Amino acid sequence: MLLALLFFMLVSGEKSVEVRFTETAPHIDGIIEDVWQQADSAYGFVQHIPYEKTAPTEHTVVYVLQDADNIYFAFRCYAENHKPIACFTTDEDYVRVSIDPFGSKTTGYYFLVFASQLFWDGWIFDDGRTYDDSWEGVWYRGVKVYEDRLDVEIRIPFKSIRYKKGLDEWRVQFFRHLAHNREDDYWTEVPQGEGDMVSRWGVLKNVNPQSSGYYFELYPEGYLRLDKRYYPNPLTGGIDSTKTDIKPSASLNLKWDVTPQTTINATVYPDFAQIESDPFTVNLSRYPTYLDERRPFFLEGRDIFRMSDLGQDGIQFFFPLEIYYSRSIGKSLDGDIVPILGGLKVTNNSEKWNMGLLGAYTDDFALTNNGDTLLYEPDRWFGTLRVKRSIMQNSDIGVLFSGSAVDDDDYNYALGLEGVYRNGPDQVIIQGALSDSTGKRGWAVTSGYRGFLGSFFTKIAAEIVSDSFNVSEIGFVPWAGRKRFYLFSGPGKVFDEGFLRWLYIAPGIHLLQEPGDTNWSKLAGLQINPAFRNRWGMSLDLYAGRYYEADTNYVRRSVDFAMWGLVKGNNLNFGSNYSYSWNYRRNFLAHQLTNWFFFGYSVIPPMSIVLSGNLWIEWDTTNTIIAMTPRIRPRIDIRFSADKSLSIFNDILLETPGTDIGESRWINNRFGFLFSWNFLPKSWLHVALNDFRERGVEKLEPIYTIGAVKIRYLLYF
């Protein structure tokens, strides 16, 4: 018994690698020189996909060093069976290092380097369940591809990341992807049913940053925009007049890491113009479309200013109480942006506490036409306060306040509380919030669970939002008055052999009381999610049941299908959603079908052709197809190098009456290109063109043509 216990402790022990100090800094060029011989190394990787918990087909070693100002990693990826694949436009070999420098066991950074020298970085949240690529850091990499190996060197300045001062043991994970057989290998064992959790990473020992002074960014930004607007005659549809404006602008962004844990961000007259508008969609539901954040000031520190969620698996069933929604600040009014005069943000990350304070001020804005005011937004203050405390290793409790005010008679405030419990692959979230919108008060609670009950993978959510809950000026919880309960549970099994590597089949129920209805809708469902050995995946969701909404009741049924994978290294993704439900676009009960697809094909290593699109099909109450709305978006991507790229796209929106393809009309067309050059860390040159045309009486008429040149230059101290 004692020998068995000792053996178990040895094989299940935590992996660790020591950080050794070097006086001679490695040259970051992909050539692993003699200085790396003094480093400790991480080895003994474990295969994750396609065969979990087995030996990799190739050997991998990672070396770790540091000097006073930087931490260094070197990957030696042996390739005895197949030369590493390096290609800008298809699946290729790559490596990733992830670190948790806070000791949080829930949050970390990741740094990813491809064999082609492309690179990516970002945040990891929720104990590995959520990846966010919005963070952009200053770090350096070098890559060399040989016939029998791939060598990658990485240098991360301590001043570029936050870390807990005095913490000499960081969590770390190393990862390698082999493109030729689509294999994923981790340093620590990662079961397919659980995923790569921060709390189960290995340990980086004896980390000792010695930098004097802290990171300071001064980020001036120059922008020159040429707008040509066309004004049509409403009777003839032709162009009556044009107006051309040249709009130069400048802004200043500042980032200062006052300590390794505390950061101040500020922005003055920021330009948040987007080269491409938010993607077009036909929204047939009663709720607005959620828009992703793209603006740098709001992306920085978003790890703090967010309510927790259940990760990628939770998107379909758990809806966090987002009482802070950054797209509410400087929002779009019919295509024009409410100007932001300035913003200030202070954030702090530590082992136990995460805190953040954000303030912004927007100017008044009026949208006019021939002297008539169509839309008006007054000047407005915004403020957000977030405090989160780590408990029980990798669980959290937190509070979030968000508010907006014009004056004493026009304001919107909300206060939210949450608790998150994590234990291995299991996670439970409970959230509650109070709102006050100019004297109208409301409340909301929601909770969710994702994890294993025995061998059954289980998803549970429960939600109550009062009728008077309102965070429309500051958050995204548009379903005031909704109540719901969701439960799906079924066996989730990993297969050691055969074409299947994972299969999840789960029956369940979804109970829902829509706003304005007193009856509960009751849906029964079945979810089938297989993952195949060749890296293809599929999901099939079936629902049916009595549904109450829009002062009617009916038997609702729906089918959601999606499939994704690689075709000779090229991404393919397609799916459909059919439902018999209420069409809020046309205000009747009928069938509706939404289809989508995406396929990128590598013509030559530097160039790919991407084709994506949607097809929305709507029936009327007599079961006759009344409209089909196709959207087609061809795009050409050209990579001149790892830091220079050109994208040329054309977005086509059509409308087909019924099923008569010959009568299809071109509704609008958006053509554009974007050239991007990342000439220094976090320093960018963008050159763009965006031409938009819309159908007039007989043909497409120009609406606007916008050309822009934008440069961002990082001054780094």
pLDDT of residue 297: 78
Torsion of CA 650, 651, 654, 659, to 10 degrees: 90
5 pLDDT tier (thresholds 50, 70, 90): very low
pLDDT of residue 156: 96
**Averaged pLDDT for residues 217-234:** 84
pLDDT at 438 over 60: yes
All domains of the chain, ordered by start, with CATH?
A: 15-205 (2.60.40.1190)
Residue bearing the bigger pLDDT, 405 or 248: 405
**What would the pLDDT profile of 344-393 be if each residue is shown by its tens digit?**
999 988 778 889 999 999 998 887 766 676 678 899 999 999 999 999 88
Q: Looking at the DSSP assignment, which residues form a beta bridge with residue 222?
A: 250, 711
Three-state DSSP class for 543?
Answer: strand
**What would the pLDDT profile of 446-484 be if each residue is shown by its tens digit?**
999 999 998 899 999 999 999 999 999 999 999 999 999
Torsion of CA 20, 23, 28, 30, to 10 degrees: -60
With b meaning 16 or more CB within 10 Å and e meaning fewer, what string describes 68-105? Answer: eebbbbbbbbebeeebbbbbbbbbbbbbbbbbbbbbbb
**Averaged pLDDT for residues 421-436:** 94
**What would the pLDDT profile of 268-289 be if each residue is shown by its tens digit?**
887 654 434 445 566 667 677 7
Q: What is the mean pLDDT of the chain?
A: 89
**Averaged pLDDT for residues 308-332:** 85
Contacts of 314 (CB under 8 A, 6+ apart): 129, 448, 450, 459
With b meaning 16 or more CB within 10 Å and e meaning fewer, what string describes 258-281? Answer: eebbbbebbbeebbbeebeeeeee
According to DSSP H, which parts of 590-716 are helical?
A: none
pTM of the model: 0.85
pLDDT of residue 77: 98
Nearest partner of 655 among 279, 282, 288, 286, judged by Cα: 282
